[in-house]
Structure 1
């Protein structure tokens, strides 16, 4: 049976514990830290993804200029040669072998069709073509990259592909210059 003295000492100990504020900051930080770091990493990952999208847009614009001016056509670039040219512009942010290149030519802007490269199951559809067209042709150059995501928990998931990936895409649509002197 507990004595009166031990009960009183337990009450005194409890009172002293409640009044002592020396560890409250550490406890509060331990409660807030997981949410803070999850939010911080989600912001960083989103910023990196948007930065990568802008870099992909720049690579696409520079690569499309080769077709727009007729340099790729007059040099008889094949799909692999054009891919090598594109890869020459890729910074360390991307893996060149994971960039997909689609170049299609059309007779008029009304005939241009841009389909989604994501199927119903969230998988990437790889039906890439290479047709740079001739002088004055309408051309659509698209680059795709499957960006891996790491912060997908806690309800923050911006992936649109299976396997926690986000499909980044860049598109340029233009009419080729009359690089051989005139349009047909």
Structure 2
């Protein structure tokens, strides 16, 4: 059995040699930093894509609302399904038409406009969509909803406001119908 001083010295020299050797330090440092880096990168990409989708939904809403504002939908006697189909014809590959909800409501005055939340206390989407485009000079609010799926929520970055890791994207257009001929 070697004396304890020799074994302590040999352990110390092995430890010093290990500390001086830097061949694998970059791989170890990357392994420590990579999960945080990729989580942050994916959260930024997902947030940017969600904001882009929100802007696309806003554009679709404005373009679709123009059909009602000018009276084209009313004179063509569009039903809710036909107007939904018109909205879907403008949707890019970013959305699934089956998940786009359209709400069109008429109000007697701008002061009477009420925008209720479409999310209940359990974070579920409330699907009470209506279609009432009004007539010439009526005040109308067109709202489009889309349940955007989120993927990076498990990494501590959770911007979902619906159950099932989804974010409700909403776009609204409020206007007075033009005085189109009936």
2:127 aligned residue: 126
How far the C-alpha of 1:7 sits from its partner, in A, is 4.9
1:76 aligned residue: 77
Deviations 1:117-150 (A, max 9, x none): 0001100000000000000000000000000000
Structure 2: give runs of 5+ residues left out of the alignment: none
3-state SS, counterpart of residue 93 of structure 2: coil
3-state SS, counterpart of residue 153 of structure 2: coil
> 1:106 and 1:153 mapped to 2: Cα distance?
42
How far the C-alpha of 1:157 sits from its partner, in A, is 0.4
3-state SS, counterpart of residue 129 of structure 1: coil
> 2:139 and 2:164 mapped to 1: Cα distance?
35
3-state SS, counterpart of residue 153 of structure 1: helix
Instruction: Provide TM-score, normalisation by structure 1.
Output: 0.94
Closer, same or farther: CA 15–141 of 1 in aligned 2, 3 Å: same
Runs of 4 or more consecutive aligned structure 1 residues displaced over 6 Å after TM superposition: none
> 1:154 and 1:62 mapped to 2: Cα distance?
37
The number of aligned residues is 181
Structure 1: give runs of 5+ residues left out of the alignment: none
Deviations 1:14-45 (A, max 9, x none): 21111111211111111111000000000000
3-state SS, counterpart of residue 132 of structure 1: coil
